[in-house]
Amino acid sequence: MALRDALDALSDLLGERLSRSKPDLEAHGRSESHFGLTPPDAVAWPETTAEVQQIVRICARHGVPVVGWGAGTSLEGHALAVRGGVAVDFARMNRVLDVRPEDMDVTVQPGLTRRALEEELRATGLFFPVDPGADASLGGMAATRASGTTTVRYGSMRDNVLGLEVVLADGRVIRTGSRARKSAAGYDLTALMLGSEGTLGLITELTLRLHGRPEAVAAGVAAFPGIGGAVDCVIETIQMGLPMARIEFVDAASAAAFNAHAGTDLPERPHLLVELHGSETGVAEQAELFGALVAEHGGDPFEWSTREEERRHLWRMRHNGYYAIMAAHPGARALVTDICVPISRLAEAVEETQADIAASGMPGPILGHVGDGNFHATLIVRPDHAGDLETAKDLAHRMAERALRLGGTVTGEHGVGMGKTGYMAGEHGEGWAVMGAIKAALDPQGILNPGKLVPGN
């Protein structure tokens, strides 16, 4: 009854921008990862902050769950409506509102995707660095505190969001942060919202920090005989303070998948893919220093180039890594999991993980943003193989435990969703209860993205 009344009111508000059609519900009930179909009761497409506010108020009045939806690329079942309710899809709130080159910042709506922003900024000489592999929405990226290949140099969403506009569970609209580069004015509500996965509020506007395009960019690849040499090379590179703009690890299985999918001819061995930013002479010097480290760790000669087409090809291949791996296993689903450890423990973490996956017999290519101590395993779950999902979950469980044992985190970037709530007490102790108390204070009815992230949600 409450749901029907809420949907009637939402239908009056939004007209055809509220859908209950099966294809729309199913499209908002799927995720990229292994979770089953979990459709919401309705999908809403707001166009303004005022409409988001109204949607939340109507749902709050009737106790109906509200789940934000960006591009639906999250990997831990974040955006699945596990208790039904309304998926609020931000696709129609996708405008760039204001670019301010003189301050190097931009204000955007949450449904804008990172690639669309990249296009918008092309003529300005500025760029927004955070680049998860998928073409995610900026709202979803803020809600998951996403990072990507350039985080080693430019930081994650944590470092690149200056302020937000947020609709809270009671319909209040707040602005967090400012356009100033720093502030000591009270609690950092921007930081609180980043990574809150839609459990504390719906983000309706973001002000983002931009960076100047470097004068020169070089990119290259180095192949190594084994994982140990590649990872040790990363550790030494970071410890020496070589200013890498990107330093990515791919294992032999990933290299094979790239060859099949992207037409490359990489040796089927572990690789580092790197990018360097600076002046012409600066990148040449950095490339020389990095090449020496590669050689010291037994790698093949480091091949690099400043040609834009070659760079684009390299990073397109890397960003499509997940799809290349999936194409090698037609019909399969994946359990994709990530962990992040202090850089000094990276070699142990990667080597133990690879040995564990190899012993299980399950295909599970490893790649990652190793400059941050972060890596992912894509565990392949075959259709009609009943034991595969359990095997994958066991491997992911041991990865999470390994991360905690080594002083790291159970997720460096994908987030908690419903897949990693089981580790939150282990990682945060009483801190997790504090997160629950914050949630209860801001959303006492528990209508915002229930079933995710915090205790008792």
Ligand X SMILES: Cc1cc2nc3c(=O)[nH]c(=O)nc-3n(C[C@H](O)[C@H](O)[C@H](O)COP(=O)(O)OP(=O)(O)OC[C@H]3O[C@@H](n4cnc5c(N)ncnc54)[C@H](O)[C@@H]3O)c2cc1C
Coil, strand or helix: which one is 337?
A: strand
Any contact of residue 256 with ligand X (CB under 6 A)?
no
Q: Token match 């094979």: residue?
A: 256
Closer residue to ligand X (CB): 229 or 417 = 417
Binder of ligand X out of 9, 14, 67, 324 (CB under 6 A)? 67
Closer residue to ligand X (CB): 79 or 403 = 79
Angle subtended by helix axes 308-319 and 252-262, to nearest 10:
110
CB of 64 to ligand X, least distance (A): 15
316: number of Cβ within 10 Å: 10
Picking from 434, 433, 457, the residue whose alpha carbon sits closest to that of residue 444 is: 457
Binder of ligand X out of 49, 54, 391, 449 (CB under 6 A)? 449
Closer residue to ligand X (CB): 84 or 225 = 84
Tokens of 50: 């005022």
Question: Using CB atoms within 10 A of its CB, is residue 116 exposed (0-12), middle (13-18) or buried (19+)?
Answer: middle
- For residue 176, report the phi and psi dihedrals to the nearest 5 degrees: -110, 150
Closer residue to ligand X (CB): 294 or 335 = 335
36: number of Cβ within 10 Å: 10
Any contact of residue 337 with ligand X (CB under 6 A)?
no
How far is CA 388 from each of CA 316, 392, 398, 401, rounded to the nearest angstrom? Answer: 30, 6, 15, 20
Any contact of residue 413 with ligand X (CB under 6 A)?
yes
CB of 158 to ligand X, least distance (A): 11
The DSSP code sequence of 184-232 is: -SSS-HHHHHTT-TTSS-EEEEEEEE-EEPPSEEEEEEEE-SSHHHHHH
- For residue 338, report the phi and psi dihedrals to the nearest 5 degrees: -130, 150
- Give the binding range for ligand X (CB under 6 A) out of 71-79, 119-127, 182-190, 305-313: 71-79
Closer residue to ligand X (CB): 205 or 229 = 205
Q: Please report which helix (H) or strand (E) contains residue 95, including its range.
A: none
Query: In the sheet where 66-69 sits, what is the strand order?
Result: 18-19, 42-44, 86-89, 66-69
- Give the binding range for ligand X (CB under 6 A) out of 226-234, 259-267, 401-409, 411-419: 411-419
CB of 337 to ligand X, least distance (A): 11
CB of 305 to ligand X, least distance (A): 24
CB of 452 to ligand X, least distance (A): 6
Binding residues for ligand X restricted to 109-168, rule: CB under 6 A: 110, 132-134, 136-137, 139-141, 143-144, 146-148
Binder of ligand X out of 40, 70, 363, 451 (CB under 6 A)? 70
CB of 386 to ligand X, least distance (A): 25
DSSP structural state of residue 299: P
Assess contact for 410 and 427: CB atoms under 8 A: yes
Residues 6+ apart with CB under 8 A from 102: none
Burial of 79-108, coded b for 16+ CB within 10 Å and e otherwise, reads bbbbbbbbbbbbbebbebeebeeeebbbbb
Any contact of residue 71 with ligand X (CB under 6 A)?
yes
- CA 56-60-65 angle, 5° bins: 80
CB of 270 to ligand X, least distance (A): 19
CB of 125 to ligand X, least distance (A): 25
Any contact of residue 169 with ligand X (CB under 6 A)?
no
Closer residue to ligand X (CB): 99 or 164 = 164
Tokens of 392: 């994958």
Any contact of residue 190 with ligand X (CB under 6 A)?
no
Picking from 53, 42, 31, 87, the residue whose alpha carbon sits closest to that of residue 415 is: 31
Which residue type does 420 have?
Answer: K
Residue whose Cβ sits closest to ligand X: 140
Closer residue to ligand X (CB): 93 or 210 = 93
Q: How remote is the C-alpha of 320 from its chain's centroid? A: 14
Any contact of residue 32 with ligand X (CB under 6 A)?
yes
- Give the binding range for ligand X (CB under 6 A) out of 41-49, 61-69, 233-241, 357-365: 61-69
Question: Using CB atoms within 10 A of its CB, is residue 280 exposed (0-12), middle (13-18) or buried (19+)?
Answer: exposed
Binder of ligand X out of 45, 69, 154, 258 (CB under 6 A)? 69
- Give the binding range for ligand X (CB under 6 A) out of 15-23, 68-76, 347-355, 393-401: 68-76
Binder of ligand X out of 28, 34, 62, 78 (CB under 6 A)? 78
Any contact of residue 220 with ligand X (CB under 6 A)?
no
CB of 252 to ligand X, least distance (A): 20
Summarize as ranges the residues that interact with ligand X (CB under 6 A): 32, 67-75, 78-79, 90, 110, 132-134, 136-137, 139-141, 143-144, 146-148, 197-198, 202-203, 322, 413-415, 449
